[in-house]
Structure 1
Amino acid sequence: MIETQQLTKRFRAVTAVDDLSITAPDGQVTGFVGPNGSGKTTTMRMVVGLDQPTSGEATIDRRHLRDHSAPQRVVGLMLDSKGAPDGMTARAHLRWLAAAGRIPVTRADHLLEEVGLGSVMSRRIGTLSTGMRQRLGIAAALLGDPGTVIFDEPVNGLDPDGVRWVRHLARRLAAEGRCVLISSHLMAEMQQTADRVVVIGAGRLLGQFDISDLTEGTSLEDAYLRLTAGAVQYRAGSDEVNHR
């Protein structure tokens, strides 16, 4: 389970996350949504200790990640598929991560097959497509067989078959009792994937609710747009321009 309590992060004059208290429980897929610049990635980085909060705290299974003895077995993270080194092969990269976490390297090969990269595992990462790199990032997140999984925009660059695969993967992981947190801008896909949704804007909590609580005839996109109406920082154009 992921919990944040009054989590705040300031970068000089900018408050990226502001007094945020949210929960992502075990056994469910939690969608983490909000406009561009709303603080989603910063929040996820604080959950796994990549950024330190200005105040408040973020915990996994009620402990800070630094207090867990085997972090890769606690949480799997996919934040940026471009973070893997271009010059390494997919197989070498995953095996290196496995060795660093004292995980059998045979699991790396198994996961490459599971995510559909078995035929390209010997190719250098720099030659892989965006979708292939997304699959590699997912494999890396699953390497330690963690109880908590965090995916940031996991379906970017994937074809429809890949999008469906990620959806089924997330649902399966949750059915196994894991905590699954997914950040996405695709509301229709999130409505099919998530059990519950946390909506933030300008770093603050705007709402959190179960998908089943949506009233009949109301889509997640409708609910999202209503909640975030005053929190969009980078709206393209204006009503006057859009109606010309």
Structure 2
Amino acid sequence: MNRIIEIIEKKEKEVKRTGSMWDWQEGYPESQWKILCELENGKFFEDEKNLLFYTTENEKIGFKAMPEYNQDKTDFITAKTSENIKYWSSDYQITKSLVEDGVFEITDRVGHYIKLRVEPMVKEVSTVTNDFKSVRLSSQELPLLYIALSKNLFNRPKKGQIYYESHSDRSCTLYLKADYHSELESSMLMAQYQGKFRQSNAEYEWNNLKNKIDEAQISDKENIKDLELYGVYDE
């Protein structure tokens, strides 16, 4: 999950009340405008199936495709040209620019409009074939990560993307392929923003684990692939 780095333009729709039964509910247009304004300094996530914006108050705008219905992002497309793609989800039209990198326009059902720029989702990683990041986890932190990956709460690694080395104090050093480390960081941040840490009875421990993973450093250890494979992975 990456930052929303710039609000390029925004415009509040003027709502004139006539007293008719078709008027917006009192307070509704104002509350929608407030949500759009809170996208400033918010977060953004996009992959093959999801396009999501999170406000600073953790309001969610966008869509999450449901694999059980064989959905992906194409199911939300309403128009596509050489310049942009338009998506419709719930009460929002989201336009993704194909000529300006990271630029989106969002219009809600009231007519409020905002144009913003996000950080690119793809992180630059080393092209070296055996690039790994390492992090040492305690005997209390290791089960948390194992359980989360076993239950697919975070993105699971593929075989060969995590190796481990045990120590006498029952801690372990994990060696994560740099591309997988980036995926794990994003999925942990999304879980945190969705409130999954807060909903558990171990929020403090989950936040600490996330911080540890975030702080993993490029490893200079040789022959990492001679170590034991981590026990949770997709073939």
Give the TM interval when normalised to the shorter protein. under 0.3
TM norm structure 2: 0.26
TM norm structure 1: 0.25
Q: Which has the higher helix share?
A: 1
Q: Which has the higher strand share?
A: 2
Larger RCO (CA under 8 A, 6+ residues apart): 1
Larger Rg: 2
